[in-house]
A and B are shown apart, each in its own frame.
Chain A
């Protein structure tokens, strides 16, 4: 069964605008973790932000913030003030089952237009 779903295969955003990348997940665990990674065309996966299931506040890291809605099982990534260098593939990932299982969503390709 699909554990992590990213419904936007590709998105465009104008430079300096904000963009939201969607991620929904499926788990019956109470304890889990959600991650977002960026993968430029060079191939390296870059860790962006983490949200724990018990964290009451939404995580933020610079221009990245995670809109965590536990009841809806969604963990959307918000990028503010998009830059050309933000053009990349973005993966949502979830850790569950006593910390040992880690799965990625199918990814969203973001293109930032000048």
Chain B
């Protein structure tokens, strides 16, 4: 089973809202990732969790707050976003950091 699930599939939120994106994997992977992808651009790495600890934060604004409650779950809490934050948010996992990553279907976020 190489499935990574993400919810919701689509999200529309206002700039004053608070929402969360959820990612789940049951492959026993110990590394999980958040990426942001704008249209016609490659994914940009935002955060990396390794063994449930934040390993990398690629200078992401504090309005994005990641959380890894356990080895299977990864959340991305959103608060006071800007319209330019509208994008496809992809979650991925890998056996450990550096191995091939398996991606979820993504959440298409629109900030109004």
Contact = CB atoms under 8 A, between A and B. Distances in A.
Interface of A: 33, 35, 37, 42-47, 50, 91, 95, 99-107
A35 B100 contact: yes
A45 B100 contact: no
Interface of B: 33, 41-43, 45, 48, 55-56, 88, 90, 92, 97-98, 100-106, 108
A103 B45 contact: yes
Contacts, number: 50
Contacts of A103: 45
Max chain A Cβ within 10 angstroms of own Cβ: one of B41, B48, B100:
B100
7 contacts: A35-B101, A44-B104, A45-B103, A100-B97, A102-B33, A105-B42, A107-B41
Contact of A43 (B42, B45, B48, B105): B105
A52 B64 CA distance: 33
B42 A107 contact: yes
A33 B94 CA distance: 14
Given A43-B88, A44-B105, A99-B97, 18 more contacts: A35-B100, A35-B101, A43-B90, A43-B106, A44-B103, A44-B104, A45-B43, A45-B90, A45-B101, A50-B100, A99-B98, A100-B56, A100-B98, A101-B45, A101-B56, A103-B45, A107-B41, A107-B42
Contact of A42 (B45, B102, B105): B105
B92 A45 contact: yes
B49 to A, nearest CB: 12
Contacts of A47: 100-103
A100 B55 contact: yes
Max chain B Cβ within 10 angstroms of own Cβ: one of A42, A44, A95, A107:
A44
A50 B42 CA distance: 18
A50 B48 CA distance: 20
B3 to A, nearest CB: 11
A102 B45 contact: yes
B42 A44 contact: no
